[in-house]
Amino acid sequence: MEIRYYGHSAFELETKGRKILIDPFMVSVREYKPDNIYDIFVTHGHSDHLGSAIEISKNTGAPISAVFELAKYCSKQGAKSVDLGLGAWKDYSWGRAILVPAFHSSSAPDGSYAGCPCGVILEIEGKTIYHAGDTSLNSEMKMIGEVYAPDVAMLPIGGRYTMDIEHAVIAAEWLQTSAVIPMHYNTFEAIKVDIEEFKRRIREVGKIPTVLGIGSSIKA
């Protein structure tokens, strides 16, 4: 599997020619041409996560998987959607996925209620990938560590609206993950961080800091 970063909290996972988008807010990408997109996940309704999801869904036919209320919002905008609740595995053509709680807020661009903010765990090719969405440090992460022990965790580190570096380091330990991909930082002034500090502190707790440039990817 390949994990590609598009800046902010946007990722594309690729497995056997099938691509899965998460939180496709493509503001940092000069040009993005979606191809072979099978599914799109959106963790919550804020515009820096919903991003271009509706447009990409309309153009490619790939459905948006999201918590019930957000999925209904996407359908109303003309996108295909898959409505999910928290805590139940759903099978997909490439593996399976489950929504877990995030501690944050969520509303759709029109101000309507967009359901509970979420993180998502995906099982692909026997690997477990956790995308935390926007969240504070929270004890659910201990449960996620115990039950799912993700191989890779994408964690917000920018602070202000989400966890900062200090809390992301604690989260990495609770999650029992081996590699952490930082996200939700340096997109704008309020979430600026020193990425070298992140790398140093993650290494101090015996984890691998996997910092991805815009458009770059790793094999997982």
Which stretches of the chain bind Ni ion, using CB under 5 A?
46, 134
Helices (H) and strands (E) in the chain, counts: 6, 14
Residue 140 binds which one of Ni ion, Mn ion, none, with CB within 5 to 8 A depending on kind? none
* Cβ distance to Mn ion smaller for residue 7 or 145: 7
Shortest Å, Cβ 134 to Ni ion? 4
Beta-sheet strands, E only, within 6-109: 11-15, 18-22, 37-41, 64-67, 81-84, 90-92, 95-101
User: Rounded to whole angstroms, how far apart are CA atoms 174 and 103?
Assistant: 16
Shortest Å, Cβ 107 to Ni ion? 9
Shortest Å, Cβ 151 to Mn ion? 24
User: Rounded to whole angstroms, how far apart are CA atoms 161 and 191?
Assistant: 8
Contact 4, 12 (CB under 8 A): yes
Contact 185, 191 (CB under 8 A): yes
Q: Per CB under 5 A, does 48 bind Mn ion?
A: yes
Shortest Å, Cβ 78 to Ni ion? 23
Q: Taking contact as CB under 5 A, which single stretch among the options 54-62, 130-138, 141-149, 174-182 is the one that binds Mn ion? A: 130-138
All residues at 6 or more sequence positions from 200 whose CB lies less than 8 Å from its CB, including other chains: none
Q: Pick from 134, 137, 145, 181: which binds Mn ion (CB under 5 A)? A: 134
Q: Nearest Cα to 72, choosing from 87, 60, 82?
A: 82
Residue 55 binds which one of Ni ion, Mn ion, none, with CB within 5 to 8 A depending on kind? none
Question: By CB under 5 A, how many residues form the interface with Mn ion?
Answer: 2
Shortest Å, Cβ 190 to Ni ion? 12
Contacting positions for Mn ion (CB under 5 A): 48, 134
